[in-house]
């Protein structure tokens, strides 16, 4: 039965793709949920004409199944990744991981972030609340969280979910500065993209070329000062630098679109439970380096696992305030594996030493020669870093 002392069973602060995914997954849960974000569009009908700058996202096969579950997949135009080629500069060794290694049609799919978020917001449209959360406090004795909105209103919720992309920083956050930024752009090449994603490790940072329609989306991580130079460089100079770093595997780079850059840090909470009735999901729980394309994929797992957890735990657990701690315990292994492996990749492949390059080369060569090991990595890309073998 509805408790008149609370406004919402679940209040989600942040309507980016992860918060919207949770609201969509809770649609039929029999809970009163709201998705609060000051930037939510008045009309969430996905029209594909997103105003935000292009931001490529590699969605795992498993993530597309989650989007499909809430009806957010059909509106999207996604390009399949049928194989991933991994190599390094200044060292031997390469490997090719293919969709057929795991028996799926595609290892993942590449899309643009804004339409993905829009499709999820549309799926969550019955819960939208155009408001910014400015403050909250747990009221243990009343069994609710008291939340202040930017317009001065106070609302009360059984559970507050922080999905604000890390905006509500605060205590309990660990931080690692990589001194890197990612330059993102669409490029055309002599040979059109044909379903292969290229990941090239350089000592400055990893360079990814993701197939996007007949072009490639470049996500090029590099030292911050170099990113500043390349953002400002003329197109020809950018294309020449890209060719020098990547080589000729896709022919010459012939055209580049608008370039934007993102600072790269690792920021995470040790536990997803921030307070007895408050949990963090998505980037609010962990903001990762994009090297393994895991941030949104992990955030979507956070959202759908929380929805499933609420369903299993039931209303009495929500009322008693038990959900945050049990959810955090359940998510710990997946979060820690994703954070650790992503951070490890950045650091191991960033070591600028000939011995380190040789060891990495041996690793890539061994991976290429051993189908079970390739299958192991392919499954992690498809199903998440903690997938069962
Ligand atoms: C260069 C780059 C490449 C990437 N590539 C990939 C990839 O290939 N694959 C992948 O899985 N991930 C990738 N990621 C990571 C991915 O983009 C993020 O993990 C994901 O977008 C985070 O979504 P989110 O909903 O948690 O946060 P956000 O998208 O940041 O959304 C947060 C929302 O909260 C709202 N908000 C903020 N404060 C408040 C408040 N006080 N009250 C209410 N609302 C608030 C904001 O308006 C915003 O809408 C990449 C990241 C970068 C930087």
Please report the pLDDT score of residue 13 as a whole number. Answer: 97
276 CA → ligand 1 middle, Å:
24
Whole-model pTM?
0.92
Please report the pLDDT score of residue 389 as a whole number. Answer: 47
pLDDT digits (tens, 9 = 90+) for 173-196: 888 888 999 999 999 999 988 899
Least confident of 11-20, 151-160, 260-269, 368-377: 368-377
- Which ligand 1 atom is the nearest neighbour of the CA of 58? 8
Please report the pLDDT score of residue 308 as a whole number. Answer: 97
118 lines ligand 1 (CB under 6 A): no
Please report the pLDDT score of residue 297 as a whole number. Answer: 95
Our mutation pick for probing the ligand 1 site, out of 130, 164, 168, counting the most ligand atoms within 8 A of Cβ, is: 164
pLDDT greater than 80 at residue 339: yes
C-alpha span between 251 and 34 (Å, rounded): 49
Provide the b/e sequence for 81-90 (b: ≥16 CB within 10 Å): bbbbbbbbbe
134 CA → ligand 1 middle, Å:
18
Query: What order do you get walking across the sheet with 79-81 strand by strand?
Result: 56-60, 108-112, 79-81
Share of the chain above pLDDT 70, in %: 83
18 lines ligand 1 (CB under 6 A): yes
Better-scored residue on pLDDT, 138 or 221:
221
Residue 344: pLDDT band with limits 50, 70, 90 = confident
C-alpha span between 24 and 75 (Å, rounded): 15
pLDDT digits (tens, 9 = 90+) for 76-88: 999 999 998 888 7
Our mutation pick for probing the ligand 1 site, out of 217, 283, 285, 300, counting the most ligand atoms within 8 A of Cβ, is: 283
pLDDT greater than 90 at residue 55: yes
- The predicted model gives 260-288 an average pLDDT of 94
145 CB neighbour count, 10 Å cutoff: 25
6 CA → ligand 1 middle, Å:
29
Ligand 1, atom 31, lies closest to the CA of 16
Residue 103: pLDDT band with limits 50, 70, 90 = confident
Ligand 1, atom 28, lies closest to the CA of 165
Smallest CA-to-CA distance from 253 within 275, 265, 236, 230 is with 236
C-alpha span between 162 and 39 (Å, rounded): 16
Residue 45: pLDDT band with limits 50, 70, 90 = low
- The predicted model gives 83-97 an average pLDDT of 78
Residue 3: pLDDT band with limits 50, 70, 90 = low
pLDDT digits (tens, 9 = 90+) for 353-368: 666 666 666 665 655 6
183 lines ligand 1 (CB under 6 A): no
pLDDT greater than 90 at residue 170: no
219 lines ligand 1 (CB under 6 A): yes
16 CA → ligand 1 middle, Å:
6
C-alpha span between 243 and 258 (Å, rounded): 18
- The predicted model gives 97-124 an average pLDDT of 91
- Which ligand 1 atom is the nearest neighbour of the CA of 184? 1
pLDDT digits (tens, 9 = 90+) for 229-263: 999 999 999 999 999 999 999 999 999 999 999 99
pLDDT greater than 60 at residue 388: no
- Which ligand 1 atom is the nearest neighbour of the CA of 13? 43
């Amino acid at each position: 039965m509805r408790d008149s002392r609370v406004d919402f069973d679940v209040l989600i602060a942040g309507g980016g793709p992860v918060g919207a995914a949770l609201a969509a997954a809770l649609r039929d849960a029999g809970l009163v949920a709201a998705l609060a974000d000051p930037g939510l569009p008045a009309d969430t009908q996905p029209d594909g004409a997103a105003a935000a700058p292009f931001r490529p996202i590699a969605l795992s096969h498993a993530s597309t199944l989650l989007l499909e579950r809430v009806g957010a997949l059909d509106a999207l135009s996604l390009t399949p990744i049928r194989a991933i080629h991994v190599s390094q500069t200044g060292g031997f060794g390469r490997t090719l991981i293919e969709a057929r290694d795991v028996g799926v049609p595609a290892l993942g799919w590449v899309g643009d972030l804004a339409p993905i978020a829009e499709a999820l917001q549309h799926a969550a449209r019955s819960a939208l609340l155009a408001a910014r959360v400015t403050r909250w406090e747990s009221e243990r004795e009343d069994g609710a969280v008291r939340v202040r909105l930017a317009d001065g209103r106070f609302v009360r919720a059984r559970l507050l979910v922080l999905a604000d992309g890390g905006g509500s920083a605060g205590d309990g956050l660990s931080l690692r500065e990589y001194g890197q930024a990612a330059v993102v752009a669409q490029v055309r090449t002599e040979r059109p993209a044909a379903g292969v994603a290229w990941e090239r490790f350089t000592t400055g940072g990893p360079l990814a070329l993701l197939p996007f329609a007949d072009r490639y989306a470049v996500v090029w991580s590099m030292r911050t000062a170099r990113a500043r130079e390349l953002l400002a460089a003329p197109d020809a100079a950018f294309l020449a630098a890209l060719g020098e770093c990547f080589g000729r595997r896709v022919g010459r780079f012939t055209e580049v679109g608008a370039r934007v850059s993102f600072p790269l840090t690792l920021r995470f909470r040790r536990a997803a439970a921030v307070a007895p009735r408050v949990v963090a999901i998505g980037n609010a729980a962990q903001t990762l380096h994009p090297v393994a394309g895991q941030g949104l994929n992990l955030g979507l797992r956070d959202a759908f696992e929380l929805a499933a957890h609420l369903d299993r735990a039931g209303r009495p657990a929500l009322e008693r305030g038990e959900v945050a701690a049990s959810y955090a315990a359940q998510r710990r292994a997946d979060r820690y594996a994703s954070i650790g492996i992503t951070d490890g990749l950045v650091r191991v492949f960033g070591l600028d030493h000939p011995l380190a390059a040789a060891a990495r080369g041996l690793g890539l060569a061994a991976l290429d020669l051993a189908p079970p090991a390739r299958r192991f990595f392919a499954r992690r890309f498809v199903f998440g870093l903690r997938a069962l073998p």
